[in-house]
Structure 1
Amino acid sequence: MANYALILVDMLNDFVTGALGCDRGRVIVPDLIKLTNAAREHGIPVIYSNDSHLKGIDHELKLWGDHAIRGTKGAEVIPELTPQETDYVIPKRRYSGFYQTDMQLLLSELHVDSVIITGLHTHMCCRHTSADAYYLGYNIVVPKETTNSFTEEDYDYGLKYLKEVYGANICALDDLIKSFD
């Protein structure tokens, strides 16, 4: 049986309703709530991988403009998915949740071998987080109802890429939750 960790990527105010707001991000919230609740009930660690940029410094801001600036409301997790006391929050300054963060150390200490990648955006931050997870030897699972992108085309491209390049298991949310038992 897999030793999972659930990673929620960039479910922040600025990505859902703010500076880089994405209506398609709101669509996945009910399924993310369902998944985070199921993960907690089964003792699966819940990890938030959140953009936390330094204003005027971070390279990404040159491309995307100011968003998720550390210490602002835009950099906070949306209220519906507020981290619980038992959850982990890993700030990041690049697309990948692993790049120069504590993600690998945390997953190692939790004895995780499989990561469930969710959140925004399937073709960008979820993709780069998955790339590093793959390079580090983790199995990757992506419940298709729990990730999205700016467009359907970006979403489909992202899922296809994760499956073909990293061997991600693209699955239905209910099937994944049933596998927790």
Structure 2
Amino acid sequence: MALHHGDELKHLFENVRVNLDEIYNESKKPFVYDNRRRYAVIVIDMLNDFVLGKLGNERFKSIVPSIRALLDWASEHSIPIIYSNDSHRSTDFELNRWGEHAIRGTWGAEVIEELKPKSRDFIVPKTSYSGFFNTDLDSVLRSIYNGEGANTLILTGLHTDICVRHTAADAFFRGYELIIPYDAVNSFTEAQHLLGLKYLRYAYLADIVSTKQIIKGV
């Protein structure tokens, strides 16, 4: 029996109007590691193909200054910075959804010029939405701070409701607390971005703050 993609989902939701204030309201701030936080900043998919190329969107350029400010702050405070970058082969399953993008070894898979990694930063390639899936990210995080490991992750980059969300899920499953600067992540539309933020707070206890709040002292 063959399975077919139908229009049932479209019909199901065509008359639905979502009020963001009515969903995902219950929230808490991170609290487990309050007195002994060890931070790491993770930059997700701030690549040429995502910002300027095949999947580019004018919205994504707006978060570059905030991420730049966070990276400068992290460097000044000796906080590790990790780049979680799509690095695809032409056979990767995800390409069936998004088409070819961030093919390893190409310009599209490179971090945009404004946010280029420094020699001391970590680069962890990935082939799917989550920065943890089949990667060394968890090992890197647990190796820093002289082997004590990071326990609080500041997630930045793209997209709030896709790669940031799935990376946050895997971080939560592994016992990391999360801080999401709302002006340093984004998605294709404002609705996706806001719904993504609400879900991150509701499901994973992410603290949703501004970049300025982090820099002043989270």
Q: TM-score range by the shorter chain?
A: over 0.9
Counting matched residue pairs gives 179
Q: Does 1:71 align with 2:109?
A: no
Q: How does 1:72-151 map to 2 (within 5 A)?
A: 72-110=106-144, 111-151=149-189
Give the structure 1 partner of residue 192 of structure 2. Answer: 154
* Aligned-partner Cα distance in 2 for 1:77–1:24: 17
- Give the TM-score normalised by structure 1: 0.97
**Partner deviation per Cα, 1:18-62 (whole Å, 9 max, x = no partner):** 01112111000011110000001100001000000001x101100
State yes or no: 1:3 paired with 2:38: yes
CA distance in 2, matches of 1:156, 1:2: 27
1:33 aligns with 2:33: no
Q: Which position in structure 2 is the counterpart of 1:12? A: 47
Instruction: Name the Cα RMSD after superposition.
Output: 0.8
In the alignment, the residues of structure 2 paired with residue 19 and residue 40 of structure 1 have an alpha-carbon distance, to the nearest angstrom, of 31
Instruction: Give, in whole Å, the separation in 2 of the partners of 1:3 and 1:96.
Output: 21
Q: Equivalent residue for 2:30? A: none
TM-score, structure 2 length as denominator?
A: 0.81
Candidates 79, 84, 88, aligned match of 1:44: 79
Q: Corresponding residue for 1:61?
A: 95
**2:107 corresponds to which letter in structure 1?**
K
Q: What's the CA shift string for 1:122-157, capped at 9, x where partnerless? A: 000000000000000000000111000000001001
What runs of 5+ residues in structure 2 fail to find an aligned partner?
A: 1-35
In the alignment, residue 126 of structure 2 is paired with which amino acid? K
3-state SS in 1 of match to 2:128: coil
Distance 1:2 1:177 in 2: 15
Runs of 4+ in 1 over 6 A off after TM superposition: none
2:11 alignment counterpart: none
AA aligned to 1:35 is L
User: Unaligned 5+ residue runs, structure 1?
Assistant: none
Alignment partner of 1:145: what SS?
coil
More helix by share: 1
**Percent same amino acid at aligned positions?**
50
CA shift, 1:172, in A, is 1.5
| 1:7 Cα offset (Å) | 0.2
SS at match of 2:66: helix
Shift of 1:108: 0.5
Q: Which has the larger radius of gyration?
A: 2
SS at structure 1 position matched to 2:183: helix
Distance 1:128 1:100 in 2: 13
